[in-house]
Amino acid sequence: MSKFIPFKLPPNLELGCATAATQIEGGDKNNSWYEWAAKEGRVKGGGSPYRANNHWELYEQDLKLMAHMGMQHYRFGIEWSRIEPEKGVFDEKAMEHYVNEIKLMLSYNIHPLVTLHHFTNPLWFEKMGAFETEACVPIFKEFVTYVTQYLKGICTDYVTINEPNVYAVNGYIFGMWPPGEKSFFKAMRVMKNLTLCHVTAYKEIHRIYGSEKVMVGFANHLRVFEAYSNNPFYKLEAKVMGYLFQGALTKSMASGKLSFPLGSGAPLGTGKFYDYIGINYYTRSSIKHFGEHILKDRDTNNLGWDIYPEGLAMLCKEQYEKYKAPIWITENGTCDKDDSFRAVYIYNHIKQIVDSGLPVERYYHWTLMDNFEWAEGETAPFGLVKCDFKSQERTIRKSGEFYMEMIKNKQVDSRMISRYLEAGE
């Protein structure tokens, strides 16, 4: 008897994919990640976002591919360094490029979700301290105003900031991302300023749209933090790490009221600064001695991340109980070089959503195609579509075909289970 059970997608759940500008576009030397990757040893395999998927030139081909795959939604990024190459200087041609891209996806009935900040900064902004300085708030607001005034007639959904906790932790505690700092206090200052940038952007977008409908939120990287064993000290450590990594920041960005250790008070006033709950989910963290350890006999992906589908439903329930809004899974996917378990991963995570009965409206698979995966460079394939970086040839993987059929049929039936899931067991 198969361990896979057929299921239907609820009418309110639609599927799509997600990308980030710097990870796919190529051709841009004016951003912080290009400069960071230029130094040997910082990116595995010596990769650079300057090549990536050449999507800036090939976006028409890629959108046609997405349409062929039946994508209903597409979350993508606006590259700040292209739009504002110098402080206060805006590039109208670059903005028109994104306008044309959105118009084309709309012609394919693909609904856009625009990300305004996804880890990378223009070099001029990075060199002035980026989000370490409170001057970032009016600077980010000016960029947001410029972009949303252009997109008002063709876009209704925005992510203000992607994974602010990952940006702060990797760049300011572990030092493995730009700017390569290792300071807890700087990381907390950055989280505070990202909170203020989000609240400001939320208010500004709603001001620009007025009575017109617009959905604004942030894409929050959430993990399940659990103790490695029943040791009470490990349980306490897991709670502390969960609070410092995601709990305090989520509450601050959602309400405008800063939570310790980010700060105190509400510099921009309190309110409800989200129209949906955005969840990026990949893995679970098992905590012992304030460090992460993989539980024994657990399935892991090619990066050693614990595969824990139940965690997605757990986090959806937790976030919904706290914030009471529609849920969008703004990222979920896995690194699988041989495409041997990606279809099963997708099945298990989406089934968790379906079985939860929660108001999950959208699921964005990370990612459309293999890309420049930050410090992993071109060595970590997350794509439904395989990309040969040298030739830029795109090939839909078997897991991509499974996802296509799920979208088309609005279900996973016994034939799909036999073809895509059991065959890989």
Domain with residue 377: its CATH number is: 3.20.20.80
Paired tokens of 389: 């970086």
Q: What is the pLDDT of residues 355-366, one digit of tens each?
A: 999 999 999 999
Residue 2 lies in a domain: no
How does the average pLDDT of the chain come out, rounded? Answer: 97
Q: What is the pLDDT of residues 97-126, one digit of tens each?
A: 999 999 999 999 999 999 999 999 999 999
Whole-number pLDDT of residue 21: 98
Mean pLDDT of all residues in 12-35: 98
Whole-number pLDDT of residue 425: 56
Q: What is the pLDDT of residues 410-419, one digit of tens each?
A: 999 999 999 9
Whole-number pLDDT of residue 424: 57
Nearest to 273 by CA among 260, 290, 258: 258
Whole-number pLDDT of residue 296: 86
Domain span at residue 146 reads 7-424
Mean pLDDT of all residues in 295-313: 95
pTM: 0.98
Burial category of 176 from C-beta neighbours within 10 Å (exposed 0-12, middle 13-18, buried 19 and up): middle
Residue 188 lies in a domain: yes
Provide the domain count of the chain.
1
Confidence of residue 191 (pLDDT cuts 50, 70, 90): very high
Whole-number pLDDT of residue 297: 86
Q: What is the pLDDT of residues 142-174, one digit of tens each?
A: 999 999 999 999 999 999 999 999 999 999 999
Lowest mean per-residue pLDDT among 141-145, 205-209, 274-278, 289-293: 289-293
Residue 221 lies in a domain: yes
What is the rounded distance in angstroms from the CA atom of residue 115 to the CA atom of residue 16? 15
Residue 344 lies in a domain: yes
Residue 360 lies in a domain: yes
What is the rounded distance in angstroms from the CA atom of residue 101 to the CA atom of residue 239? 43
Whole-number pLDDT of residue 265: 98
Q: What DSSP letter does each residue of 309-323 carry, written as one string?
A: THHHHHHHHHHHHHH
Nearest to 37 by CA among 203, 205, 178: 178
C-beta separation of 277 from 312 below 8 A: no
Residue 88 dihedral angles phi and psi, to the nearest 5°: 80, 0
Confidence of residue 1 (pLDDT cuts 50, 70, 90): low
Residue 243 lies in a domain: yes
Residue 218 lies in a domain: yes
Residue 225 lies in a domain: yes
Whole-number pLDDT of residue 287: 97
What is the rounded distance in angstroms from the CA atom of residue 89 to the CA atom of residue 164? 26
